[in-house]
Structure 1
Amino acid sequence: MPLTQGVNAQRFWSTIERSAEIGQGREGGLSRLALSDADKEVRDVFVCMCRDAGLTVRIDQVGNIFARRAGQDDSLPPVLLGSHLDTQANGGRFDGIVGVMGALEVLRTLNDLQHVTRRPLEIVNWTNEEGARFSPPMLASGCFAGVYDLDWVHNRQADDGAVFGEELRRIGYLGSEPVGGRDLDSYFELHIEQGPILDAERVQVGIVTHGYSSHGFLVEFHGETAHTGPWPMEKRRNALLAAARLLVEVDDIGWDFAATDGKATAARLSAWPNKAGILSDWAQAICDVRHDVPKAADVMAERVRRAVGAAASRAGCTAEILDHWSWGGRIFDDELISLVRRHAAALGYSHRDLASQAGHDAYFLARVCPTAMIFTPCKDGITHNNAEYASREDLEPGLNVLLHSVVSRADR
């Protein structure tokens, strides 16, 4: 039976405000890093909300939380919907959170309407999407999709020495459920755009057709400590300098492709001892490149690889690419894209197709089941910043499109 009602936007907004009380960072923002005490607190609140809504909660071995609403035929593969509750160090109140709390509102609305879908529905909160504490990003959804090995994930280490698996156990979210290997009907992810297009054009709903092809790198350099005063220039092996040269070259790569909307980011530089008076004998750099055209992204990535060797050679150091991650492209399901587009039109919302330029858990889910993303506007496209903002009126159209799309898919 087709739905004729929408979500309870005020109730949804109250869950956003409740989430925003946990892990507060700079004024108006959040600093809720994965597997921190604040992450535990928001997880506990979310699990209570799910159980209050009559959902069955399960947790897998990388801490992904699944909350299930039974279907008329509960043997059928579920329709999955969700996102993440962790944030960046200077994060906002909406990135990822809208997708999780929005999924909860969809199921609460179905409870209100006493509408039981043919297929079961499951909300998911993915662990460590941001990669702000444990690298790389989208770590747990990647494990779910078979991209990362479970033991490798459990052994990832944070800057403070914390180990992923040990932190899961510490906060009580080392679950017993196997990671992945399940039949899924489909996956839907609602997200703020994290870009300025919808807000600038006053468009209510974004239909995500694909993701920018992206490549990320973790590079390590080794040199030799020496006194910064007397040691001759020709004998210096400064690892910090090698990493810095690489990151400058990465930025230049971005500018070389900027005219076609390519982007390259020098994201992080770490070094040891990193003190005045001494050269650093160790450094790590994190960088990434992305472009809407996959071949262009491949060229940018190859230039990064060459820059690694050049930077090391010029500084008299050795270098190794410790990790490389990639995602994006034409990965989303055409049938689901059409379904979302059809419901946006039927509900009378202005909408447009667009690409996702950021990374999302949906990228990995697209490897294991049909997947779609829905974007909502966010003010001026500001995100990963405490000034990130989306109003209730910005979010409600995307929520209703999510509701109707999910129900249509689950009832077929």
Structure 2
Amino acid sequence: MATISAGSGTNDDAPGPSDPRIDPDRLLATLSRFATFGATDGGGLNRLSLGDADGQARDELCAIARRRGYRVEVDPIGNIFITRPGLDETLPVLLVGSHLDSQPFGGRYDGAYGVLAGLEVLRSLDDAGLRTRRSVTLVDWTNEEGARFSPGLLGSGVVAGTISLADAHARTDAQGITVGQELDRLGYRGAFDSSSLAVHRSFETHIEQGPVLERTGTDIGVVTGVQAIRWFDVLVQGQDRHAGTTAHSDRQDALVAAARLIEVVDRMADTVDEKLRATVGEIRVQPNSRNVIPGRAVLAIDLRHPDPARLDQAEEQLRRAAAEVAEQRGVRTEVHQVLEMPPTAFDAGTTDLIRRAAASLGRSAMEMSSGAGHDSMNVASRAPASMLFIPCVDGLSHTQAEDIHDEWAVNGASVLLTAVRWAAEEAAGHSPE
């Protein structure tokens, strides 16, 4: 991908700066347009990272940016950075955006809304003929979901230094295709040195992915941080045998033993803390045949809580239960931790800008912690960062049924625009009076 020279990103015919406003029709039309890339029959998206549909969405985003005269840069892991230049390009930039990839049968707004709300902010500044002091850079992070290539948060992780570029390029999908191969195929292995990008503040707009905002009738979630996450793979090794000839007393059924552990995980919110989120999201069984007693089962377990001490309790319960089940059922169990993400506290000043922006527009807001992981967790290790949430219907996300109301989409983009305007005029970390 070539680097595109910057234009002003403004309307030279405008008589002078005016108060910028989100264009609701344009925002909603753009959301609809991008929902066609990877659209499913169920009304959702199948836009896996670096697949053909993701390539189409990336191409469309870059084409819009080039027509506007923005600078388009792509780094070696495929993150796209689109910059609307400010009056002083020596100053650290304002970063906005999210991701365009989806789950295999995900929704139209998870991630994509944050990218396109950020795009609408840039275009709204154009409409008003307003040149900000600082440049505003829109980002589309590569492989946030991790649905095709593991781990998720891959693009932002490379920038944050939590994963090496070489390791990221070598990650494979289920067919053995690497990230590097797909970047080359789509033309998105760029040369921009994103690790050197100086960021003044970062804002990520996202759907809540939960029911709280809708249930309370609140317009905006002011996100103060992201809870801690731990993933475990639990191996249960028994003995596969003939289903018709083996008495129950002689069985070492790995799947039955695994089911006992699933019950333990399901009860953890009662035994540890109601804030705990404990999930068995995947079961892999071998030989997975109707008339064979399962000899091996692997459980993929996801534990989340704002307090790492509570996660310690949950992990202790899991390990103790695995040992007890092994003894009771005559199987062998192994508990392997595959991921640990500490809680992330977002920058108080950036969070306060979102809170004040919502208030200035008459939008109700509440503080909340994110239960899901986001690229802003990685960004927060490098720069002051925060997030703002909008409601989603019935709290549904990572499903084709994911939906938002038009008003919610416009509210979030409007609050983002106001916060960006204020932050773009800051001199040294303080909002202008």
Q: TM-score, normalised by structure 1?
A: 0.90
Given candidates 40, 43, 52, the residue that maps to 2:67 is: 52
Structure 2 residue aligned with 1:163: 178
> 2: distance between equivalents of 1:133 and 1:207?
30
> 1: distance between equivalents of 2:18 and 2:358?
14
CA 1:268–1:162: 2 relative to 1, 3 Å? farther
Say whether residues 1:37 and 2:52 are aligned partners: yes
Mean Cα displacement is larger for which, 125-134 or 209-218?
209-218
Structure 2 residue aligned with 1:190: 205
Say whether residues 1:411 and 2:425 are aligned partners: yes
Offset, 1:312: 5.8
Q: Is the CA contact 1:71–1:118 (under 8 Å) kept in the aligned structure 2?
A: yes
> 2: distance between equivalents of 1:6 and 1:40?
30
Say whether residues 1:105 and 2:120 are aligned partners: yes
Q: Aligned partner of 2:43: which letter? A: G
Structure 2 residue aligned with 1:356: 370
Structure 2 residue aligned with 1:10: 25
Given candidates 348, 352, 356, the residue that maps to 1:334 is: 348
CA 1:325–1:152: 2 relative to 1, 3 Å? farther
> 2: distance between equivalents of 1:121 and 1:3?
18
Given candidates 381, 398, 403, the residue that maps to 2:412 is: 398
Say whether residues 1:85 and 2:97 are aligned partners: no
> 2: distance between equivalents of 1:234 and 1:141?
52
> 1: distance between equivalents of 2:319 and 2:167?
24
Mean Cα displacement is larger for which, 44-53 or 221-230?
221-230
> 2: distance between equivalents of 1:209 and 1:279?
48
Say whether residues 1:370 and 2:380 are aligned partners: no
Higher Rg: 2
> 1: distance between equivalents of 2:156 and 2:322?
29
Aligned residues: 410
Offset, 1:291: 2.1
Structure 2, unmatched stretches of 5+, are 1-15, 427-433
> 2: distance between equivalents of 1:41 and 1:374?
27
Structure 2 residue aligned with 1:303: 317
What SS is found at the alignment partner of 1:323? Answer: strand
Structure 2 residue aligned with 1:389: 403
Q: TM-score, normalised by structure 2?
A: 0.86
Offset, 1:394: 1.2
Structure 2 residue aligned with 1:274: 288
Structure 1, unmatched stretches of 5+, are none
Mean Cα displacement is larger for which, 153-162 or 306-315?
306-315
CA 1:311–1:76: 2 relative to 1, 3 Å? farther
What SS is found at the alignment partner of 1:180? Answer: helix
Q: Is the CA contact 1:327–1:359 (under 8 Å) kept in the aligned structure 2?
A: no
Structure 1 residue aligned with 2:13: none
> 1: distance between equivalents of 2:86 and 2:405?
32
Q: Is the CA contact 2:93–2:199 (under 8 Å) kept in the aligned structure 1?
A: yes
Offset, 1:309: 5.1
Superposed counterparts of 1:206-285, under 5 Å? 206-220=221-235, 226-230=241-245, 243-257=258-272, 260-278=274-292, 283-285=297-299
Superposed counterparts of 1:320-331, under 5 Å? 321=336, 323-329=338-344, 331=345
Superposed counterparts of 1:119-198, under 5 Å? 119-178=134-193, 180-198=195-213
Mean Cα displacement is larger for which, 206-215 or 238-247?
238-247
> 2: distance between equivalents of 1:222 and 1:119?
58
Cα distance per residue 1:332-383 (max 9 Å; x no partner): 0111111111111111112222221211111121111101111111122121
What SS is found at the alignment partner of 2:343? Answer: strand
> 1: distance between equivalents of 2:380 and 2:304?
19
Mean Cα displacement is larger for which, 242-251 or 291-300?
242-251
Q: Is the CA contact 2:93–2:134 (under 8 Å) kept in the aligned structure 1?
A: yes
Cα distance per residue 1:272-293 (max 9 Å; x no partner): 4322344556554322112233
What SS is found at the alignment partner of 2:394? Answer: helix
CA 1:320–1:376: 2 relative to 1, 3 Å? same
CA 1:144–1:236: 2 relative to 1, 3 Å? farther
Q: Aligned partner of 2:200: which letter? A: D
Mean Cα displacement is larger for which, 286-295 or 83-92?
286-295
CA 1:276–1:81: 2 relative to 1, 3 Å? same
CA 1:278–1:81: 2 relative to 1, 3 Å? same
What SS is found at the alignment partner of 2:280? Answer: strand
Cα distance per residue 1:133-165 (max 9 Å; x no partner): 222322222222111222322232323333332
Say whether residues 1:201 and 2:206 are aligned partners: no
Offset, 1:221: 5.5
CA 1:169–1:302: 2 relative to 1, 3 Å? farther
Q: Taking every aligned residue pair, what percent have the same amino acid on both sides?
A: 39
Offset, 1:194: 1.2
CA 1:72–1:305: 2 relative to 1, 3 Å? farther
> 2: distance between equivalents of 1:341 and 1:16?
25
Cα distance per residue 1:63-101 (max 9 Å; x no partner): 211111222111222111101111112211111111000
CA 1:183–1:267: 2 relative to 1, 3 Å? same
